[in-house]
Chains A and B, each alone.
Chain A
Amino acid sequence: MLLLGIFLLLAACAHRQESRFVPADPSLAPVHELVATPFFPQRQYQCGPASLATLLTSQGVAASPDSLLALVYIPDKQGSLQAEMLVAPARFGLLGVRLPPDLDSLLSEVSAGRPVLVLQDLGRGIVPLWHYAVAIGYSLEKDEIYLRSGVERRRVYRLSVFLESWRRSDYWAMVVVPPDQVPVTARPQAFLKAAGVLERLSRYSDAQVAYLTATQRWPDSVPAWGGMGNTAFVLGDYAAAGEAYRRALDVDPDAVLLMNNLAMSLHRRGCRQTALAVIDCARSRRDLPLLQQTRDEIAAAPDELKSCGDFSCRVTAP
């Protein structure tokens, strides 16, 4: 055991000659630590539930590692899958957002007050030993990063050593936020995927808040407006849904899926003529079974002389 310890120490020393990390953002605080972050020492192989409980509790949700076993733990694998870690916060009405795979993003989130869940490989390249931990602080001056990890409340890593263990998971990291907050470094795709989980779990009101937040942060995001429209549609507000779809079509006039849904929202309001104009516009661009099915459904509806505004099918260059 002593020899093993020496071996590990030697392996750790081998990485220490690298140069210091210089953050891309020069205004990043050189030292920051979220000392109030809760700690759940892991039992056995349950670092996934323990790390997730740390993030959820930081967001004010009372979730114990034991209560999360049923959501993210796979007994025979003695571990948790990344996909399930990302979607689990939606059960509590929160968003699990994947971060861009780099240290700058991780440190920016920590300095913005959010603990960051990371996947490390502690096997040093010999055997894969996947481990979840939570980054809660760093010191660029000391070249250190601090994690709630396993049974250690404050594990100190040299940045280069941490990076090496993190690199093997392709720098996988996530944060948990309420639906009305966007993580400072999040990309639209990652945020919208998180919102999509709420939608899949039929938490439409929570999902709508997330999509609204996304449209405010990224006003030109077509899927953000699409999600806004879809949640309004499911909640029965067809006028608001149509408004959101039109906003998306202003950005991308060729988005046939949005035209399909706009046509459906008009159809539900009894606007047969306008709905037909929209769906025919979509069909002129692309031949999809969904579009034909929608057209058949609208065409079968009784003709109503209801005015629902115009729809101009923009001609695009071939």
Chain B
Amino acid sequence: MLRSNFLKRMVAIFVTISFLGGYSLPAWSGMATTEQMLSEQFRSLDRDSLVSMLDRQDVRRQLIEHGVDPAYAQQRIAALDDEQIQALQAGIDELPAGGSVVGILVAVLLVLVILDIVGVTNIFSFIHSPK
């Protein structure tokens, strides 16, 4: 038990160190960060900082999976606070991502076509819904 926990930690530390070049922990050794003061709760303090770092790696992986250049993914997660990281970690797919305008027409058109096909509406004359 003790051994496997120890091994897990070692693997986690190794993974973390190999990914986190330039993470500014040493400067904060022994110090409470402004972020912790701002959150006015001790959750982030009690939480294993290693867990927080692994969350960051998970978000980094998600960004890369969604097409972000790996060279920038690390920089991008470094700017986010723990709260933001946790929101992203829960799933980037669930969050709104502002982007579309061109897509709007296509999407609305698609919805109307579907409504037409199932017979809810009758907007397009070329679609014959089942009677």
Contact = CB atoms under 8 A, between A and B. Distances in A.
Interface of A: 3-4, 7-8, 42, 44-48, 70-71, 73-85, 87-88, 90-91, 119-123, 126-132, 149-151, 169, 189, 192-193, 195-197, 199-202, 211, 222-223, 226-227, 230, 233-234, 255, 257-258, 260-261, 264, 286, 288-290, 293-294, 297
Interface of B: 24, 27, 30-38, 40, 42, 45-46, 63, 65-69, 72, 76, 78-81, 84, 87-88, 92-93, 95-105, 107-109, 111-112, 123-124
Contacts of A202: 24
B79 A261 contact: no
Given A74-B92, A83-B88, A196 B101 contact: no
Contacts of A211: 34
B100 A74 contact: no
B97 A227 contact: no
Contacts of A77: 66, 92-93, 97, 99
The B interface is mostly helix, strand or loop, or mixed, namely: helix
Contacts of B108: 4, 7-8, 123, 126-127
Contact of A80 (B45, B99, B107, B123): B99
Given A122-B104, A130-B96, A76 B66 contact: yes
Contacts of A121: 96
Contacts of B63: 74
B31 A78 contact: no
Nearest to B34: A227
Contact of A79 (B42, B68, B97): B97
Contacts of A73: 68
Given A7-B112, A127-B108, A192-B34, A81 B101 contact: no
Contacts of B92: 74, 77, 81
B67 A76 contact: yes
Contacts of A7: 108, 112, 123
29 contacts: A7-B108, A45-B100, A45-B102, A47-B101, A71-B72, A74-B63, A74-B68, A79-B97, A81-B96, A82-B96, A84-B76, A84-B80, A87-B80, A119-B96, A123-B108, A126-B111, A127-B107, A127-B111, A130-B96, A130-B99, A193-B38, A226-B34, A230-B31, A255-B37, A257-B32, A257-B37, A260-B32, A264-B30, A294-B30
Contacts of A199: 33-34
